[in-house]
Chains A and B, each alone.
Chain A
Amino acid sequence: MNTVANPTYRQRVGYQAGLLGGFSLVAAALLVMGDIATRDAIVERKAEDLLASLAQVIPPAMHDNDLLANTLSLGPDATEADGTLTIYRALQGLEVKAVAFEVTGQGYAGPIRVLLGIGVDGRILGARVLGHAETPGLGDKIEVARNDWILSFDGRSLKDPAPDGWAVKKDGGLYDQFSGATITPRAVVKAVKGGLELFEARRDTLTANAVVTEAAAIDDQQQ
C-alpha cells in the first residue's frame, strides 16, 4: 500500500471500527445538513411544478380561483389508495368547472404519478406525468416534453372510447404502446381510466358547489 509508516495502532480493530463509524457519522451529518439546506427549496420547486402541470391540465381560462387554495380532500374510503387524495378544483365563482387530481399507476420501475384534469362533463381536459422512474429512452416517452403520446387522452371519457378501448393496442385497445416499453403506457392508461372511474363514482361530491370558507369570504370583501 501507499503508506510507508503504518503505525501499529491502526491495525487494531478499534481503529478500524472507529474509522468506519466516524465516516458514517460525518456522512450522516452531511446528509442531514444537505437535507435541511435544500428541503424548502425542493418543496417550493415541487409546488411550482405542480402549478405548471395544473395549468396544463386545466386551461387557465376555465377558472378564476387559485387552484392550490380551493382544494378538497377525499378520504381513504373513497379511493382504493390508502392515503387521502387532494382534489384541485377549478371554480368560476362557486361553481365547479373542472377538477384535477393525481392518479398513480404501477410502472416498470416504480409508481408513475399522473395529474389528471377532468371537466364536469366527464371528459379529460388533459393528463400530465408528474414523476416516474421509467427507463430513460424507452419509458420516458410518457413525458409531454419528449413525446405527444400523453396528449392522446385529451377529450376522452369513460364512454369514448368504449371500455374495451381503454388499453394499449397490444391488448386490443386504442392507445399506442412504445417500442420496447409496453408496461409503462399500460400503467398510465390503467391509471387514467381509474381516475375517470373515480370521478364517475364520486361525481356529486367532486362537482358540488364550493362552500364559501371564512378566508375566501374575507378575500371577497376586500375585493
Chain B
Amino acid sequence: MATTDKDLQTPKTDWARIAKDGIWDNNVVLAQALALCPLLAVTGTATNGLGLGLATTFVLVQSGFLVSVLRGIITPQVRIPVFVLIIATLVTLVDLAMNAWMHDLHKVLGLFIPLIVTNCAILGRAESFAFRNRALPAAFDGLMMGVGFTLVLVAVGAMREIIGSGTLFANASMLLGDAMGFLELTLIPDYRGFLLMMLPPGGFIALGVLLAGKRVLDRRLADKPLAAQGQRPSAEGQGAVV
C-alpha cells in the first residue's frame, strides 16, 4: 500500500476517548445533530428506537471497518460516491441476509433497514473518522457511535411513548424474543393518548428537551472545576463539531 503508516501510528489509539466521544461528547444526535430524519420518523415507541439503533450500529461497525481498510486506494476526490456505494451495498446485503436467515427478526426490523442508507451519520463517520484511522479503532468508533445513537433513540422513543400512549417498550417481545417480554409496561392504565407526541412534532419536542438537557449537564460539569479556580466559564464551546 502506498500509504505509509508513519502518520497513522503517531498517537496511540485512545479507546476511552473514542467511547466517550461516541456516547456523550460527540454523540451523533446530541452533538453532531445528524441522523435526525430516521430519528424523528421511527421513535414513536422505545422498541422501534431500539430496533433502528441496533440495525444502524451493526452497519456502522462494518462500514467503519471497510472504509478504513480501503482508505489507502480511495482518493479524496471520489471518496463520497465510494462511501455511499460501500454503505448502500452493505445495507442491501444485510437486508437480504436477514430476510433469508433471520426471517422473524427481519419482519420486525425490515422496515428500518432501508432507512439506514439515508442515515447521514454513517457517511459522516466514514468521512470524519474511518477515512483517517486504522481499521480496529474505526470499527470501535462505529460501535460506540452506534451505541450513543441507540441510547438517544431509546430515550426519545421512551419519552414519546410514555407521554403519547402511556406504555413503555410495547411489542418489545417481537423484537427481542419472549424472554424480554417483561420490558413491556403499561405505565398509565386507561390512558387516552396524547397524539401530538406520537406525531413528528412530538419527536422534535422530545429531541429539544434532550438537547437542552445535555447542554445544561455539560455546563454544570464544566462549571465545577472552573468555579473552584474562580474563573468564569465560557458560554460557548459545548458540543464541539469535529
Contact = CB atoms under 8 A, between A and B. Distances in A.
A38 B100 contact: yes
Contacts of B72: 3
Nearest to A147: B171
A145 B111 CA distance: 15
B103 interface: yes
Given A15-B75, A31-B89, A137-B45, A5 B96 contact: no
Contacts of B100: 37-38, 41-42, 45
> A-side binding surface: helix, strand, loop or mixed?
helix
A38 B4 contact: no
B242 interface: no
B75 A30 contact: no
A4 interface: yes
> B-side binding surface: helix, strand, loop or mixed?
helix
B133 to A, nearest CB: 8
Given A136-B42, A179-B195, A180-B199, A145 B78 contact: no
A151 interface: no
A45 B74 CA distance: 39
B3 A5 contact: yes
A83 interface: no
B44 A138 contact: yes
A7 B72 CA distance: 12
Given A16-B78, A19-B74, A3 B195 contact: no
B80 to A, nearest CB: 10
B3 A35 contact: no
A2 interface: yes
Contacts of A37: 96, 100
Interface stretch (A20-28, A57-65, A95-103): A20-28
Given A10-B75, A23-B82, A42 B195 contact: no
Contacts of B45: 137
A124 to B, nearest CB: 24
Interface residues of B, number: 45
A218 B49 CA distance: 54
B195 A4 contact: no
A4 B73 contact: no
Contacts of A3: 2-3, 72
Give the interface centre of A3, A15, A30, A42 by most chain B CB atoms within 10 Å: A3
Q: How large is the interface on A (under 10, 10 to 19, 20 to 34, 35 or more residues)?
A: 35 or more
A1 interface: yes
B96 A38 contact: yes
B222 interface: no
Nearest to A138: B44
A3 B4 CA distance: 7
Contact of A30 (B8, B51, B93, B199): B93
A2 B112 contact: no
A146 B89 contact: no
Contacts of A34: 92-93, 96-97
Interface in A38-77: 38, 41-42, 45, 48-49
Interface string B55-87: 000000000000000011111111001100110
Contact of B97 (A4, A15, A38, A145): A38
A149 to B, nearest CB: 14
28 contacts: A2-B3, A2-B7, A2-B131, A3-B2, A4-B4, A4-B7, A11-B75, A24-B85, A27-B85, A30-B89, A31-B89, A34-B96, A37-B96, A38-B96, A38-B97, A41-B101, A42-B96, A45-B103, A133-B111, A135-B41, A135-B44, A136-B41, A136-B51, A137-B44, A138-B198, A138-B199, A179-B195, A180-B198
Given A19-B74, A49-B103, A137-B48, 7 more contacts: A2-B71, A16-B78, A27-B88, A133-B111, A135-B44, A136-B41, A145-B174
Interface of A: 1-7, 10-11, 15-16, 19-20, 23-24, 27, 30-31, 34-35, 37-38, 41-42, 45, 48-49, 133, 135-138, 140, 145-146, 179-180
